[in-house]
Structure 1
């Protein structure tokens, strides 16, 4: 029976989430904004929130309002229309707070250079606490970055300024 349990645990990945769950005293609330672009990163993020990845067990929870969030997660390039929305969401969040840029577009603009509608990425415009690179990044890369951020908060920090 123990061997069967070990095989099933290894196959489902439950062993990794159990370690993270112990590290997080409470779920880390994350508010997501799709700022523009092709929505490829947003679709990968939706996969992370699905049943296959067991997001709830990792100590991460998506919230419906920035007032409840400690992390602002941005996908897509920063468009001129969304810039004030992003700023308002950031200021609505309680301290301490972190900014996560997911994908090449959110980080540096990706294939969407600065033009009449797009300001580019967040890099150089805002202090990014975590940049998860890729076009789009895989759900596993997104989850690994967020889990690392949860670990930083569990240790009393505000996350890292590193790329996943």
Structure 2
């Protein structure tokens, strides 16, 4: 839905969503893992990385390897197949590090929690530093949560 909002905003000439101010410091490196589900949260995250939200100016940067990340951002439910992948990514990250669960599925398993291939969400299984609720949460809500990690 946010992608559609961003397209409509761009084509109708209305103002883009307000940027969330963050503290001035080096970029916060974030590594994203999508573990399954409907991928709605991952699509909202992709919209956040687009021009409408100006992510580059906020001090948040997505990285391609967990070795460079300070934040592990998880979307989707915790599946049996992806649990070891998440654990390996977490252990590859340098200290200090933070775990962010985005969306109902990542937090508590969402509508997929009863599936045989799903272990549930991260809640109760790992120490979540930030949980961004929603199904899916808007890009602005995700940005606001991540900005909070920067102290903004």
Secondary structure of the equivalent of 1:19?
A: coil
Q: CA deviation at 1:5?
A: 24
45-54 or 4-13: which moved more?
4-13
Q: 2:45–2:142: 8 Å Cα contact kept in structure 1? A: yes
Q: Which moved more, 1:111-120 or 1:90-99?
A: 111-120
User: Cα RMSD (Å) of the superposition?
Assistant: 6.4
Shift of 1:113: 1.4
Report the equivalent of 1:154.
Answer: none
CA separation of 1:12/1:27 partners in 2, compared to 1, >3 Å: closer, same or farther? farther
Query: Take 1:91 and 1:148, find their aligned partners in 2: how far apart are those partners?
Result: 24
After superposition, residues 135-154 of structure 1 pair within 5 angstroms as 135-150=135-150
Runs ≥4 residues deviating over 4 A: 1-22
Aligned residues: 152
Q: Distance in 1 between matches of 2:119 and 2:76?
A: 11
Q: After superposition, what is the alpha-carbon deviation per residue over 1:54-104, rounded to whole angstroms, capped at 9, x for unaligned?
A: 001111000000000000000000000000000000000000000000000
The answer for the alignment partner of 1:49 in structure 2 is 49
Which structure has more relative contact order (CA 8 Å, sep 6+)? It is: 2
How much does 1:27 deviate? 0.0
Give the match for residue 30 of structure 1: 30
**Runs of 5+ unmatched residues, structure 1:** 151-162
Counterpart-to-counterpart distance in 1, 2:8 and 2:128: 38
TM-score if structure 2 supplies the norm length? Answer: 0.84
Cα distance, 1:7 vs structure 2: 21
Shift in Å, 1:23: 1.7
Q: Aligned residue for 1:159?
A: none
**Which is greater in Rg?**
1
CA distance in 2, matches of 1:4, 1:130: 27
CA distance in 2, matches of 1:31, 1:80: 20
